[in-house]
Amino acid sequence: MRVVGIETEYGIVDPDEPRANPILMSSRLVQACRSWAGDRTARWDYGGEDPLQDQRGFRRSRAQATPELLTDAPEFDESAGEVTLRRRRGSWEDPAHLNAVLANGARFYVDHAHPEYSGPEVTSAHDAVVWDRAGDAIALAAAQRYAEHEGSQVHLYKNNVDGKGASYGTHENFLVRRSTSFDDLARRLTPHLVTRQVFAGAGRVGLGQFGEAAGFQLSQRADYMEAEVGLETTLRRPIVNTRDEPHATRDRYRRLHVIIGDANTFDVATYLKIGTTSLVLAAIEADDERLDTLALAAPVEAVQTVSRDLTLRERLALADGDTASALEVQRALLEICRSYATDAGEAAVIARWEGVLERLATDVFSAAREVEWVAKLQLMGRMRARHASPEAPDGLPWHDARLAAMDLQWSRLGDGLATRLAAAGQVERIASDEEVAAAVATAPQDTRARLRGGIVAARPDVVDAAGWSTVVLDRETDHGHLEVVHLDEPLAARHPLLDALMAG
């Protein structure tokens, strides 16, 4: 059972005031989320944050760190005044309106200029889909409450680009054995992260960080990846991020923080993104040397090459002098990973992986129900064709503003084009609506998220704050004594004190 999780930063816009401050809107959205959740929320505890420790064995100094790395000391300016932060247990804790720890074990908070939903820890690709979609439902509920409180609307977008050169992330987290060499981990995982966009890409109109060239590509994040490995997340974004912040027992675990992935509105894309990566990590932990034959000669260049190849036939240079297409790399990884599918859930991932690769190789559009970029390309192709003429036999050119607007509307939560396709039965679902509705209010029961979400839901009166690996209790009537409950084992879903408090 590998512990995994997904974090999503949403694009946020006031449709009536395009220049509205996104930080202020995000803060008010978090406040609206807390209002929607009633008393069943808690503040965030930063006691376990360690954002400057690098997996390569050194620590970045705070003086050399860019602001986005300092996630342990949040800053917020609502009216040209600084937020007052108070010290506790040697760490910073932020004001309540920047964070909400929810009853389903998730965190909903302000991350720079975006609202972010960080889903709870789960142990399967299926559950990752369930609690990821629950995040979308929570964000929509918060937006509705925002409208009631503020008298204005916010639109939320599950995408990764703003069309003006900025990119924001959808990050994945995988718990990995600390005994696995990080150098081996990075080297052997890179070919998968580069090529999995053939089934995990969300599709994008425009080429280049500013969309300066016309065209369509598989991935929203590809043009923003600029390094093979690194600590940054918003500058010189790496294929493999090196932050060493396990939020678990350090001598046992690494937390692999993956920032290369797209925000997906299709269940199958999310399911395969998580499931296949987890299986590749199992092969890496087993020191499977077959992975070495897939090493890429120029990984950063290959990210863009794969993303811009709509035929899926472009050859990538391998480190040993050979070449392979992205589909061939994925087929090779699939065959290696068959050996590491040890339960029914992982066997289902293998079967889905194999089926999607076969459909992409045979007829790309036969995968339109499962692969997001394919469905988006197909829908846009119909839009382009409707405007065909003798002067423009291909229809709308890719630089037409209507296609860019269509790209944006694809990802809008609630009534976007992807949502409408799903409602029309044109998208294959992994998670049922009933599962998602339950996950909005309930945490996974097989990880420590059960404890975090459960205590917030049952006893918010005694919870002062919570983090990934801590729950801070304040059970004294004079609020003068804080108890820190450590939850360093992510698979430990029971705790004597917390279970007793919840039962009481």
Query: pLDDT of 80-111, one tens digit each?
Result: 333 333 334 334 445 556 899 999 999 999 99
Residue 374 shares a structural domain with residue 496 = no
Residue 332 lies in a domain: yes
Residue 53 lies in a domain: no
| Residue that terminates a domain, selected from 382, 411, 440 | 411
Residue 476 lies in a domain: yes
Paired with 28 in beta bridges are none
- DSSP-assigned states of every residue in 246-315: -SS-TTTEEEEEE--PPP--SHHHHHHHHHHHHHHHHHHHTT-GGGGGG-BSSHHHHHHHHHT-TTS---
pLDDT for the residue numbered 85: 36
* 3-class SS of residue 387: coil
Residue 213 lies in a domain: yes
Number of domains in the chain: 2
Residue 482 shares a structural domain with residue 388 = no
Put residue 263 in one of left, alpha, beta given phi > 0 → left and psi -120 to 50 → alpha: beta
pLDDT for the residue numbered 476: 78
Residue 202 shares a structural domain with residue 283 = yes
* 3-class SS of residue 504: coil
Percentage above 90 pLDDT, the chain: 80
What is the distance between the alpha carbons of residues 309 and 451, in angstroms, rounded to a whole number?
45
Residue 360 shares a structural domain with residue 283 = yes
What is the distance between the alpha carbons of residues 466 and 109, in angstroms, rounded to a whole number?
13
Residue 97 lies in a domain: no
User: Is the distance from CB of 94 to CB of 85 less than 8 angstroms?
Assistant: yes
pLDDT for the residue numbered 86: 38
Residue 214 lies in a domain: yes
User: Is the distance from CB of 261 to CB of 219 less than 8 angstroms?
Assistant: no
| Residue that terminates a domain, selected from 411, 439, 462 | 411
In three-state form (DSSP H/G/I as H, E/B as E, the rest C), the secondary structure along 98-165 is: HEEEECCCCEEEEECCEEEEECCCECCHHHHHHHHHHHHHHHHHHHHHHHHHHCCCCEEECCCECCCC
Phi, psi of 331 (to 5 degrees): -65, -40
What is the distance between the alpha carbons of residues 100 and 456, in angstroms, rounded to a whole number?
10
Contacts of 340 (CB under 8 A, 6+ apart): 279, 282, 283, 286, 346
Residue 464 lies in a domain: yes
Residue 202 shares a structural domain with residue 336 = yes
Residue 209 shares a structural domain with residue 282 = yes
* 3-class SS of residue 167: strand
Contacts of 22 (CB under 8 A, 6+ apart): 12, 13, 113, 114
Q: Which residues of the chain have pLDDT under 50?
A: 74-93
pLDDT for the residue numbered 165: 85
Residue 374 shares a structural domain with residue 472 = no
Residue 382 shares a structural domain with residue 487 = no
Residue 342 shares a structural domain with residue 456 = no
Residue 428 lies in a domain: no
* 3-class SS of residue 486: strand
pTM: 0.91
Residue 280 shares a structural domain with residue 403 = yes
What is the torsional sign of CA 196, 409, 377, 402?
Answer: negative
Residue 465 shares a structural domain with residue 358 = no
Active site residues: 111
pLDDT for the residue numbered 66: 57
Residue 406 shares a structural domain with residue 460 = no
- DSSP-assigned states of every residue in 35-75: HHHTT-EEEEP-TT--TTBBTTS-B--GGG--GGG-TTS--
Q: Among 198, 240, 235, which Cα is nearest to 219's?
A: 198
pLDDT for the residue numbered 394: 86
For 455, the domain range is 449-503
